[in-house]
């Protein structure tokens, strides 16, 4: 799987609409849409097996540079594949994802406050 293919999977998991610029940073190297002037390497031909070095390896993904959603990915364990399983498979995750274009982390925090306050939600 390439980094570009992983991007599409992350978009699906996050419930995002895939219309913002994004990048990967793996071992200090930036990947995304190729931009040699900015030292961004093409993600299209870079396979995970080339840059992710096994268990306990982490790397980052930034989506929507305006809101700057930064995600840390950690390879906790490598599992053997099974011919009876359709991949990719999400094993586990934490928390709910913010909706697209909710106004970065501060906008998401405000949205959570509004949702949690029955006096506000009853007026909507």
pLDDT at 38: 75
Q: Of 53, 24, 54, which Cα lies nearest the Cα of 41? A: 24
**Pair 78, 54: CB distance under 8 Å:** yes
pLDDT at 95: 67
Domain CATH code at residue 83: 3.10.290.30
**Pair 15, 5: CB distance under 8 Å:** no
pLDDT at 124: 56
Which two structure tokens, joined as six digits, stand for 22?
């994004």
State the Cα–Cα distance between residues 30 and 60, nearest whole angstrom. 10
Q: How many domains does the chain have?
A: 1
pLDDT at 121: 59
Q: Of 16, 8, 35, which Cα lies nearest the Cα of 98? A: 16
pLDDT < 70: residue spans in the chain: 95, 121-124
List Cα–Cα distances, 38 to 27, 45, 65, in angstroms. Answer: 17, 18, 15
**Pair 72, 60: CB distance under 8 Å:** yes
Q: How many other CB atoms are found less than 10 A from the CB of residue 31?
A: 23
Domain enclosing residue 73, as ranges? 3-121
């Amino acid at each position: 799987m390439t980094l570009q293919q992983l991007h599409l999977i992350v978009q699906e998991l996050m419930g995002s609409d895939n219309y913002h610029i994004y990048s990967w940073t793996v071992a200090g190297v930036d990947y995304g849409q190729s931009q040699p002037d900015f030292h961004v390497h093409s993600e299209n031909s870079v396979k995970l097996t080339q840059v992710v070095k096994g268990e306990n390896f982490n790397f980052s993904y930034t989506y929507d540079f305006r809101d700057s959603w930064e995600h840390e990915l950690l390879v906790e364990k490598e599992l053997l594949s099974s011919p009876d399983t359709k991949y990719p498979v999400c094993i586990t995750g934490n928390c709910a994802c913010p909706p697209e274009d909710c106004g970065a982390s501060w906008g998401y925090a405000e949205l959570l406050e509004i949702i949690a306050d029955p006096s506000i939600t009853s007026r909507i």
